Amino acid sequence: MHLKSLQLIQFKNYEKALVAFSPEINCFLGINGSGKTNMLDAIHYLSLTKSAFNPVDIQNVRHDQGFFSMKGEFDKAGKSVEIQCILEARKKKQVFNNGKAYEKMSEHIGLLPVVLIAPDDTSLIKEGSEERRKFFDSLLSQLDKNYLGKLVRYQHFLKQRNALIKQFVEQDRMDKNLLEPYDVELIQLSKWLYEHRKAFIDRFKPYLLHHYAEISGEREAVEIRYESQCEKPDFEAYFYGCLQRDLILKRTNAGVHKDDFIFEIDGHPLKKFGSQGQQKSFLIALKLAQFQVFKEETGTKPLLLLDDIFDKLDDFRIGKMMELVAHHEFGQLFITDARPERTRKIMQDIEADIAYFHIEGGKVSRQE
């Protein structure tokens, strides 16, 4: 699968842009703030119907404009797939597949798998458990529409139960009969989602460990552990036993929305004991494992978006990363870098169809 061309109108800092891509490696070069990352974000939008960096759709419209439009022409297994996304102020976002609008955005998820490696990924390590759950839930949702459906249902019942608990506290009353339907659903869905997350991590971890060993030269060992309240011998009793705490805190305190994924290096928390280079290497390995899982389970190589990945990596780790590129482990790549000379030097020994694009002030020009 590859993206043949991309058209942007009033998206972020692009007034208009039309770009044709190489099916192998595409490098966006330019100073910071020129629009390199915005180009990657547009590709992310067409793949997942949302921005990777700003969840508020209207804030991705160019300043003083009332809409944005983007269109991508993809080649998937020899067939042309045209995806268009249109957002107008005060109107519902629309996504079209070969001219036909989706009724639900979730119908599109998984059609065009994409993996993004970006500087903001450090939040997966440095922030709370919610960031890590979002990452793995997004990954699972792209692979399994049934998982996505169960997750959406869980989030709906969790929101409704939290609203009901808050109402009980505000009105100084309690009715367990009203809570029971939500409790039953959340308990059942928690167990189902837990089992699927657990099974997925078992499949995912070997890829992560393999890629980290490659990038780091086996200098240190990393680990990933999945922690969940559902591991308790009687999760159902634990859930009901949290009711008083729920009322005090005005929210549900038991369920898979409290799960966490623990990252370690040499037996210690990566957040506290990993250097910047080690953390960056872990994040790249995490995303390459995502790539590998997509490739193995869907038979399709995802688009790989690499945003400023050369920063904070030493020459050794960059070299190991580029070995994978040189061996054609990936499909179509999109790379950004603020230092053109660095990218050209790194790419000079790689035998591939490489396209270089200079970006300045939302203008794109292809270079030799």
User: Residues annotated as binding site for ATP?
Assistant: 30-37
One DSSP character per residue, 4-32 reads: EEEEEEEETTEEEEEEE--SSEEEEE--T
Which residue in this structure is represented by tokens 């060992």? Answer: 221
CB 195 within 8 A of CB 235: no
Residue positions forming the annotated binding site: 30-37
Is the backbone of residue 60 left (phi > 0), alpha (psi -120 to 50) or beta? alpha
Token couple for 172: 């100084």
Is the backbone of residue 362 left (phi > 0), alpha (psi -120 to 50) or beta? left
Reduced to 3 states (helix: H, G, I; strand: E, B; else coil), residue 91 is coil
Length, in residues, of the chain: 368
Which residue in this structure is represented by tokens 């790249």? Answer: 284
Which residue in this structure is represented by tokens 């490659």? Answer: 214
The whole-angstrom separation of Cα 360 and Cα 296 is 38
Please name the amino acid found at residue 162: N
Dmax (CA) for the chain in angstroms is 72
Cα 245 → chain centroid: 33
For the beta sheet containing 2-11, the strands, ordered from the edge strand earlier in sequence to the opposite edge, are: 14-20, 2-11, 67-76, 79-88, 94-97, 100-101
Token couple for 152: 């959406």
The whole-angstrom separation of Cα 294 and Cα 292 is 5
The whole-angstrom separation of Cα 31 and Cα 340 is 9
Where b means 16+ CB within 10 Å and e means fewer, 264-299 reads bbeeeebbeebeeebbbbbbbbbbbbbbbbbbeeee
